[in-house]
Each structure stands twice: as structure tokens, then as C-alpha cells.
Amino acid sequence: MGVKRAVELVLKTAGENPGPIYTWGPLIHNPQTVDFLREQGVEILEDISNIPSKSTVIIRSHGIPPEERDTIASSDVTLCDATCPKVARVQALIKKAAKEGDLVVIVGNEDHAEVRGLVGFAGEHAVVVADEEEARQIEFEGGVSVFGQTTINREKYERIARVIKSNNASAKIFDTLCDSTSGRQAEISELSLDADAIVVVGGKNSGNTRRLYEVAVDTGKPTFWIETADELSKENFLGMTTVAVTAGASTPHWIVSRVVEKLEAMNELRLPPWEWPRLKAIGFVIIQSNILTGLSAAMLGFSAVFLAGGGFNLPLFIATGLFMMSVHTLYNLVDWQGLALVDPSKIRFFWGNRKFLGIVSALGFMIAIPLSILSGTTSFILMCIGSVFALAFVSMKGMPRFLKARGFGTWRSIPGAKDILHAIAWIFVAGLVPVLSVAPPIWLGALAVLWVAVFAVLRAMLFSITDMETDRVLGRESIASIVGEKRAWYSTYVLMALACAIMIAGISLRVFAFQTAVEFGFLLYMTLLIAYFRRKGISRGTWAELAVDFGLLLSGAFPLLILLLK
């Protein structure tokens, strides 16, 4: 929690402050995250006595001594505190104990940034002990208060605390350990029972990752401490079938995902076919290039045309698919930070092929617009308008003045902007354009567009739920984070109920042709998919995207089958 909070706070600060931004020391002990922050313009301050004026200085998650805080606060800078709340609680307890005259004993590594900060709150009343031998030397006639570095091993802390208590009967022992860290350490022992080896992922300068490694080594299983997947060697895992993976508190989950991917690739024959890396590679090209997304949008557009009483229009079908493929590709090229967090495979694909994908995206617009004119002037005009808005969004350097005046410095700062823009694009291109090309009666056309709108919002909502963590890290609010995850899930049920109501009412009132009942097969798939995601959990990535977009593809596949069978 403390690590995530710190990164979120820094990125939010970076988005709101135009001046230079520094962290006093590494924000967290993970080199990859520090490099990621540096790319966002956040540098590490090297000298606290020479801070550039008008800059923003962020206190790292480990906390700092009071005198260092005073030095920063007295400078001509903006101070931002990213100290982990759990560390801040320990600081307050230590300050109170020192004020009461107690000897403050801190169990931990005296060279660790957190411990140095804690010592600062105790002043002359502090003693740091690292093991039981040092603890036996603690004898004090007055009060003794014992605190643990938040990331220390719980069993070790309790052993040392008992030693101190044996020599100082009135000593007060405070439970200041982070439950998340203790939980990870306990999980290693459990995971090791069924594992041939253990891989610990995290920065070599991370104290809690080091303790995870020590716990893993104590299990007797071969243990490998790595920072990135590039350090994995297939030779180290020959003859093994099961590998346990754990990570330090400051390790970004996209790095862990890459480690898991590489481990899977080392022994793919033991995986189910749908997890084979080579098969996934084919799927990656289809999904990550947004070919499937474009095809799904085209199918949903055809579904709307089918409900509106129209037939299969191949030029418009291709134009819709190419347009949506190009829009999503452009968005991914702009929002590469988000991809780096949620889907490491996708960012590698996009980053390695960004020039080619940019050209393909431009060609998609260039082909879609001429094709749309074959479906009428209205379709052509709407496609041109959509293209102008899409390209303007991608090339936009700043926000309009009226939005800046309301505190929206970037489009990410607008609550729910990402989800709303995606839904609008789908409604416009897969709903409004195809339906108007048929020119149906107004009520029939309205229901057909509403049908598309329901699933455009449903798609945005599902990915909003999966992207909640990433959106927080990137400092933007998703719809799910605004309404809450529980209400977001409820909204998916409401949307499915609305879709069923549209279909039942349309057929019952004879607004829709009876053959449109074939769409109940599509509705059943989406209902089961949402129920599965709700029960098992939905994680952002290639297969979640495949499952959702494949469902939308079915919306047009069933009607197309009906037409082919005629």
C-alpha cells in the first residue's frame, strides 16, 4: 500500500506541477520504478543543502528524519510527503516514547533509509539492534519501548523482542511490522512445499526483498534473486516442473508478469495448449495489433444494421473495422505508459513496431474514409468528423483554455476521460455511422444505436475495472474508481439487463424482426463471461481482452450466419 501510494502521489504531482520535481533519495528501492519515474521527469535529489528554487521535493516512502524535513521546508520549494502511512505511524509512536523519556530500541538495519528516519524521531534516546546478540546488551533502568523496522521478518523481530524483554521486564513491545511484508514471507514457506525452485523478484537495494530471499533460502530449495526477467537462465531450471515466484513490496507487477512469461516459455510442453508461448505469439499479433478489436467493432456495427433491418454492407463493414483498429492503435502509441503497467507483452510489441504501426494506423484512416462514401454521403461525413477528432486528440499538446481554467491540465486529469472517450468512439463508429447508412425509422434506429451504446459502455466498464490499479498509478480516475469497484460490477449487470430488455421489447413489439432473436446466443455468452469474471476475477491482459472482444464479435457472427443460411 505504501509503495503504490508513493508512486501514485509522485505521478499525480508530476502531472500537476510544471516545474522540476525531485525525490529526496530513491522514492522506493526498485531501480526499474525509479527509471520509469525519471522518464516522467522525476529526478533524484543528490544534495539537500542545494535544492533548486521553485522546485517540488518529494519525501520518499521510507520517511526521513525531522531535521532533513526542516531543511527542505525552509527552502524555496514545494514539499510533498510520500511517507508510507505505516512508517509515519511508527515515527509518531517513537516520538511519543522519546518524549516520555523511554529508551527507544529499533530492531532493524541501521543503514536502511527507514531506520535512519526513525532514529531521527528518537534523537539521543535511540538504539538500533540487528540481532539477538546486540539485544542482550540492552539494559536500562528506565522505560524501554521496542519498535521494529516495518519490513523486518516477524519471527526474527519477536525473538529479539523476547530477549530485550527478558533483561528489561517493563519493556513495551510495539507491533509495527507491515502485514503485507509478513504475509509474503509466510507465503514463501507455503509455496516452497510444491515448488522445485523459488524466484524472488526485486531490487538488490531493497531490504524487504532481501528478507524474502533469506526466507526462501532457508526453505532449502534452489533460490534465485533477480531484478528483471533478463537475468533468468533456462539452464538453472533444467528438470524442474514447478517454480514459485514472489516479489518485494516495491517491485512493479509488470516486471513480475514478464518473469512469469519467461518462465512459462522455458517449459511450454507442460502448459495447457492455450498457454503455449508460440500459440500466444500468434494471438498477440492479432490482438495486440488491434485487428481483433477492429473486427469486433465491425461485427457490433453489423449487429446494429441487422437490428435496423439492413443487410450486410461489405465496404462499410471494412471501413468500420479499419477505423476502430486505427483509433485503438493510435491510442496505445500515445498511452504507452499504461501498457507498460498492465501488459508488458503488449508494450514490447508496440514499442518494437511503433513506426510500422503508426503507418498502418494512418493507412487505416486513409482507406476507411473513401470506403465509407460507398455507403452514402452521411457515412462519409461522419467518418471524416471522427477522423478529425481522433487525430486531434492524438496530436493535442495541451488542453483547451476553458478546461485548464477548471483545473484540468491534461486529458488524464478529467475523471473517467479514458473510458468515456473509448465508449463514445465505439458508439459513434459502430453504432451511429452504420445505422444512419440504413436510414431506418427513427424508433428502430434509436434502439439499434442504444444496443451498440450498451455494449460500448459495458466494454469500457469491464476494462475500467481491470485498469483501476494502473489508472491510480498514472494519476487518472477511471469510471470504476469514481463509482467504486462494487458499483462498477453492479453496473455491468444493469447493462446486460438493459440489453436483454431491448431485445425482448423489440421482438415483442415487432420493432425488430423475429430472426433477431439469434442475438440471445450473444447475450448468453456475455452474461456467462461477466459472471465468470466476477467470480474468478478479471486481470488486464491479452486473454481478458480476447474474451471480451470475442464476445462482441459474436454479436455480428450470429446474424451473419443467418444471412448465409438463407
Q: Which residues contact 97 (CB under 8 A, 6 or more apart)?
A: 104, 122, 125, 143, 145, 147, 172
Q: Nearest Cα to 261, choosing from 249, 246, 273, 277? A: 277
Give the H/E segment covering residue 157: helix 154-167
Burial of 57 (0-12, 13-18, 19+ CB in 10 A): buried
Backbone angles phi, psi at 109, to 5 degrees: -95, 115
- What does the angle CA 252 – CA 246 – CA 478 come to, to the nearest 5 degrees? 35
Q: Which residues contact 458 (CB under 8 A, 6 or more apart)?
A: 492, 495, 496, 499, 526
Determine contact, residues 221/251, Cβ cutoff 8 Å.
Answer: no
Task: Report the C-alpha gap between 161 and 174 in whole angstroms.
Answer: 9
Beta strands in 5-153 (DSSP E): 21-24, 42-45, 56-59, 78-81, 103-107, 126-129, 144-148
Determine contact, residues 524/269, Cβ cutoff 8 Å.
Answer: no
Task: Report the C-alpha gap between 424 and 244 in whole angstroms.
Answer: 43
Reading the block at residue 161, the C-alpha cell is 523482542
Instruction: Point out which residues pair with 245 in neighbouring strands.
Output: 199
Active site residues: 114
Reading the block at residue 95, the C-alpha cell is 516520538
Determine contact, residues 252/227, Cβ cutoff 8 Å.
Answer: no
Contacts by residues 269-275 (CB-CB < 8 Å, ≥ 24 positions apart)? 270/241, 274/543
Give DSSP secondary structure letters for 513-546.
-GGGGGHHHHHHHHHHHHHHHHHH----SHHHHH
* Structure-derived torsion over alpha carbons of residues 51, 54, 60, 64, reported in degrees to the nearest 10: 60
Determine contact, residues 183/232, Cβ cutoff 8 Å.
Answer: no
